[in-house]
Structure 1
């Protein structure tokens, strides 16, 4: 990955703010001072362009030519950028080049024009529409089993528009005369309103995953690129934007070509939202600083999980009827995603690849044509990465073809035909669409389905994670960090994002359960006998979520479990909800929380791991904030944050409380590790200020010595201008096991030699040399007596 121009204000860390009508650009300006005092290097803003009315996240852009009016418009954005720069912070903006919202056609001027004029619209080139397939199909009609026919009676012509309830659509010129029947007018348009059920199988435009309300944008077209990016690049040229986070880069037709075009126009810091398989790197030709950091999240969280808990959790899952073979769950979920949710995309690809005639020369029949689509499905499900990037990613492509052929030898000749066609023209349409769609299959099959089915131990079921890999060894953690420092020192790293399935602090508490796995799994068996959720994998998820996110009210827990059940698609789903099943899910949180005995047992388990969860949370935060890369702090997570998947993680943040606690810290307060979370804020402030002021580089693993050495995770880095490592992070691993073994005893941590005296920035205590040669090796029992972490600097 190439290195970009360092922004005028260096991006040493980021703080993600989720903008919405209730928290605008003006509100964001109100927290700039606090974030600067906390040490944040850059404001990292969710999308700022005009989104759909009432958007709570900004990824549903309807007009990329202007800053969102609901968020305050250009004036508010300019004021926020100026204030951030004055405070010494850069400004990073999230952009969405892959798709636009078409949920409200009247809100999206480009889409409205296409619906009105069809292929003749000046904006027809902007969207990936198969005009040869006939009218644009809009899957919006209610369907009670009649294919949406009854819903057509609800069509009206209102104010020169075709209205379906509160949804308006344009009328092509000359297609309506007063008095005309609305259904007849509908038949004259460049589009057809059809049953919502047809979206997955017959859609004539490419979508974002299976979301029909988000239409894909053809930014590979230079004119479309210019139109989509004009406003963002104008703001950058005005000096208001220092970095860009590119959303869903794998959905683009040509990610590498897009990024090269973007980098030529924007010489600042660029990171891409890209999930990497373990050991995978982004293509070297991409001119980006790196990804948004899910790969770092996997190892940072995993190193705080005890491998000793794997057997108990696996046995519990198997006994409860939950699948423990992640590969099998994943394969089944991917196949369902490709055949059920993405059937329209599969058909379009299959139509582009003529099947190879039988070797005996007989003519093709209908069965052979159907098997061509089967081969496409098998290939899409066979990738061991999200997508290949041909011709650069030929190895990943070859592995997928080999895997698909091994799984389905009966489809060999069809797979050979696809392979031949793609290799002959790796930049052609069949190659491009297969690569785009493979990422959708992996995301929808693995993340959105399998991760809600294989619920053995849900701390592992995270974006970019691997539920089959129970724990990460310290050696793997250090190797990954050193590799990141060498290959992508300016990549973003993360612990919580708006896309994570659960927050970092929930995962930290769940990690502690691996140390008490026998007692916890026995408790789950008892609880399940008394009050089970109606499906085994959801049941295990429910109990782990209850303990991990405690305290949680019934409404939040119900909303989460319903979403999880619909994503898993085992007892219910988004498209085929089962009312009885969902009523049983809705009743479960109340049954548990209102049962004094059961409530007390759950609380007892929570109390047994709460302290260890805090220790894990502080430990992973310390190594995240001080390690290689550019760490992101998701809004609110500078205190304890027990959020679940969106929209739960977009709940309002109490910025006033954080300001009050920060003011006390600035007065010298050393907070205890307790429920207030102030200790975490103290750690975040200390680490971010150290990063900003010292600009550390390099990476040196530190190894403790003594009976509890395996419980210490530590490394050192070198500040700007220093000749020796002079900044160190120290964290505690597996704190329950450590305590059960008698604590640190005489375990020590030898620190790098060099001039000066080490001091713990969290406590202010100096660490005296312990040997005649000037070696400093503090006993960990003393170093970590107040906090389970230390931030050491040698001055």
Structure 2
């Protein structure tokens, strides 16, 4: 690596679009430097499908997007960033490519044209064994849609927005489109036929998975990155959906060899509660959903969550947590596995059966399905998880004695990865896809005890954490993954950090919330209790702190409600839209935004908004000063009210002033980090700072230092609703480490034991440096 290494202090995530290109990013570099970030973290930069606003549907051959500014525009951005001391991290997408428009994907077009004889057929994870080499494309709403097939003047098959190439010599002017279709290397099939001829990214038809385990595919998809590395134009990489790869460990080792040891390498990967990232991985860590969960849970009142469970049960007649929620999650995974991913479980079964022919295939199929829907970790075939997965299998065998024979095959498979490697890889990537679709996409829209805990990385079953566990997990993170990312908002989160912070405050006043909902339900009876209760919490989360929703926010909420209804599938769905049910919910939602109902909502928001902002500031500080490297999503240096994508990918006005509470917190935290690199980098210490008194639960206090010497102390408010008076704060006494301590924001000096009313006054956070 040439040039000067830039140690990570904090990243700033930018979503590139045709309207916000490399040139526009150059224009915000001074802003980012003033903020204090060390690295610019770009969304995918490769050429993508026409009209793409996110870049995750990139299209081969891999080359930097001309729409975004091309290679010259990227080089210019890199030069300007380096001039102001900011590194560049790229988001790469090895798992899949966009195939929505075959004309813009040479590899996929060639496969459709020439079938398995195409030199690119081996690039894709095709599944044609049951169809005599034909590639099933699940693009039809119904089988009789084929009546609408036509041919364009280039001899391509056309069905609505779908345009597909045809094989040479199979079409002539005047041919019957259906007869031409029958001559192709592919077949259009109904989306619900459970026939998919290629592995997809989750259940997205427009994204086809690649086989990165094949050296030729890796070389073809990473040559552009190697060129940037050779020219020292990149300081780090973020790998999208690493668990979707056949061999994540092998892939990351090869990528690390290309990057060298000095560049940063992050992976987008979910971790189950209690799961540790495998230490064999040659990475700095994850992109931070595990830390998001930890921060979210420490700001959620545990007793309030219990009361909210009772409210949810009373309103809906359904349990919202505990064993019932766990059972519903398993049932939902099973439904998704059968309905969306039958090809994946069948391929795993075939591979296992080939190695264990003495066991009936249906038993192996049932056992593999059971494991995919019940495993306690995100993906089980990482080396360090052998003990965990074999314990899971033993537990499942005890709970399901009729499945012992099939589960025994799985136990052998995980203990003999050299022999069963392909099979357990198939189970691993299927488990990840099933969880993402069943729990994060569908399940998180079907329950509503407290929607702030229904977030990526989080588990509604465990919405809270005690402070002892919180400090223990951060101590482990400081020792094992000191440079892992710490996220609060991303381009994929279900709601923005400020929205979640406000919603979480509901758990601090559950009785007042229950009264509010009862009054509102009487005034505006919901057409569907669960759906409307879910939407109500989001409405409260984004409601203006002073005023009423304007037309723009009303439209955004209507769009969000439509997506939430269809994702959850309770009253409508993407494949079976119920216009009447959707209209009823939309009418109810509109009623909340005006008149007496709006007065009720505004009154409740007024009760919790200030506490929400206090906790949002605390969360921001913790994300930047706890072990790890804070990731600031675009626009979150100010208050923001984003919901899920595409709402959270709206353009950001970077010309706003940094004289703002969140921006000032960020600047203070990052200035302190830069002054004490040893305290926050590898080898740095994370220590609990004692707090005593009757209101100690409202303060999180810790130190960062090195060699058991504290250099920085952080005190942050949590559960702020009942901690907003000097009297309450005076009851929390903080025992500072020996020495004199200076407040980084105010310059005030402190020593010994001090009350939170003095140290914090009415602020959310105090960051102290050793004098």
Tell me the TM-score range normalised by the shorter chain. over 0.9
Would you say 1:529 and 2:512 are equivalent positions?
Answer: no
The match for 1:195 is: 190
Q: Which has the higher mean CA deviation after the structures are superposed, 184-193 or 104-113?
A: 184-193
* TM superposition shift of 1:371: 5.3
* TM superposition shift of 1:211: 0.9
Would you say 1:758 and 2:755 are equivalent positions?
Answer: no
The match for 1:606 is: 605
2:20 and 2:396 mapped to 1: Cα distance?
A: 48
Q: Which has the higher mean CA deviation after the structures are superposed, 40-49 or 305-314?
A: 305-314
1:541 and 1:95 mapped to 2: Cα distance?
A: 34
Q: Which has the higher mean CA deviation after the structures are superposed, 399-408 or 454-463?
A: 399-408
Cα–Cα, structure 1 residues 469 and 167, in superposed 2: closer, same or farther, change >3 Å?
closer
Partner of 2:349, secondary structure, is: helix
Match for residue 785 of structure 1 among 761, 764, 767? 761
5 Å-filtered alignment, 1:65-144, equals 65-132=62-129, 133=131, 134-143=133-142
Contact 2:390 2:414 in 1 (8 A): no
The match for 1:331 is: 330
The match for 1:669 is: none
The match for 2:305 is: 310
Contact 1:322 1:536 in 2 (8 A): no
Cα–Cα, structure 1 residues 339 and 533, in superposed 2: closer, same or farther, change >3 Å?
farther
Would you say 1:375 and 2:367 are equivalent positions?
Answer: yes
* TM superposition shift of 1:272: 0.5
Partner of 1:640, secondary structure, is: coil
* TM superposition shift of 1:166: 4.3
**1:185-226 alpha-carbon deviations (Å, 9 max, x no partner):** 22222112223333xx11011111111111000000011001
The match for 1:252 is: 245
Partner of 2:685, secondary structure, is: strand
Contact 1:461 1:467 in 2 (8 A): yes
* TM superposition shift of 1:615: 0.8
The match for 2:450 is: 457
Cα–Cα, structure 1 residues 41 and 470, in superposed 2: closer, same or farther, change >3 Å?
same
The match for 2:347 is: 348
Segments of structure 1 that go 5 or more residues without pairing to the other structure are 666-677, 770-775
Aligned-pair Cα RMSD in Å: 2.3
Cα–Cα, structure 1 residues 5 and 752, in superposed 2: closer, same or farther, change >3 Å?
farther
**1:300-332 alpha-carbon deviations (Å, 9 max, x no partner):** 122122223123201111112233232122112
**1:389-444 alpha-carbon deviations (Å, 9 max, x no partner):** 25543223323423443444333333334444554455532222111101111222
Contact 2:528 2:585 in 1 (8 A): no
Contact 2:733 2:754 in 1 (8 A): yes
Partner of 2:304, secondary structure, is: helix
Partner of 1:744, secondary structure, is: helix
Partner of 2:723, secondary structure, is: helix
The match for 1:415 is: 407
Would you say 1:694 and 2:686 are equivalent positions?
Answer: no
Would you say 1:432 and 2:425 are equivalent positions?
Answer: yes
Would you say 1:237 and 2:225 are equivalent positions?
Answer: no
The match for 1:671 is: none
Partner of 2:397, secondary structure, is: helix
Cα–Cα, structure 1 residues 79 and 355, in superposed 2: closer, same or farther, change >3 Å?
closer
Contact 2:96 2:209 in 1 (8 A): yes
Partner of 1:713, secondary structure, is: strand
Match for residue 727 of structure 2 among 739, 742, 756? 742
5 Å-filtered alignment, 1:333-732, equals 333-354=332-353, 370=362, 372-389=364-381, 392-420=384-412, 423-426=415-418, 427-551=420-544, 552=549, 553-594=553-594, 596-657=595-656, 661-662=657-658, 665=659, 678-695=660-677, 696=679, 697-718=684-705, 724-732=709-717
Contact 1:202 1:344 in 2 (8 A): yes
Aligned residues: 750
Contact 1:60 1:100 in 2 (8 A): yes
1:528 and 1:407 mapped to 2: Cα distance?
A: 42
The alignment's TM-score, normalised by the length of structure 1, stands at 0.90
2:3 and 2:575 mapped to 1: Cα distance?
A: 47
Cα–Cα, structure 1 residues 279 and 655, in superposed 2: closer, same or farther, change >3 Å?
same
**1:119-153 alpha-carbon deviations (Å, 9 max, x no partner):** 1212111100124332111222342xxx1x34344
The match for 1:181 is: 176
Contact 2:527 2:588 in 1 (8 A): no
Cα–Cα, structure 1 residues 524 and 37, in superposed 2: closer, same or farther, change >3 Å?
same
Contact 2:61 2:106 in 1 (8 A): no
5 Å-filtered alignment, 1:31-46, equals 31-46=28-43
* TM superposition shift of 1:369: 5.3
Partner of 1:245, secondary structure, is: strand
**1:702-722 alpha-carbon deviations (Å, 9 max, x no partner):** 122333333221111127xx9
2:357 and 2:483 mapped to 1: Cα distance?
A: 52
Segments of structure 2 that go 5 or more residues without pairing to the other structure are none
1:753 and 1:150 mapped to 2: Cα distance?
A: 76
1:466 and 1:242 mapped to 2: Cα distance?
A: 33
Contact 2:278 2:382 in 1 (8 A): no
Partner of 2:509, secondary structure, is: helix
Contact 2:356 2:409 in 1 (8 A): no
* TM superposition shift of 1:653: 1.0
1:177 and 1:788 mapped to 2: Cα distance?
A: 72
The match for 2:206 is: 213
Cα–Cα, structure 1 residues 556 and 403, in superposed 2: closer, same or farther, change >3 Å?
farther
Partner of 1:224, secondary structure, is: helix
* TM superposition shift of 1:87: 0.8
1:644 and 1:504 mapped to 2: Cα distance?
A: 10
Match for residue 319 of structure 1 among 314, 321, 343? 314
Q: Which has the higher mean CA deviation after the structures are superposed, 247-256 or 438-447?
A: 438-447
* TM superposition shift of 1:455: 1.3
**1:208-266 alpha-carbon deviations (Å, 9 max, x no partner):** 11111110000000110011111122112211110111111110000000001110111
2:2 and 2:296 mapped to 1: Cα distance?
A: 31
Contact 1:7 1:90 in 2 (8 A): no
Would you say 1:51 and 2:48 are equivalent positions?
Answer: yes
Contact 2:148 2:159 in 1 (8 A): no
Cα–Cα, structure 1 residues 758 and 197, in superposed 2: closer, same or farther, change >3 Å?
same
Match for residue 59 of structure 2 among 58, 62, 67? 62
* TM superposition shift of 1:116: 1.3
2:694 and 2:483 mapped to 1: Cα distance?
A: 37
1:249 and 1:32 mapped to 2: Cα distance?
A: 30
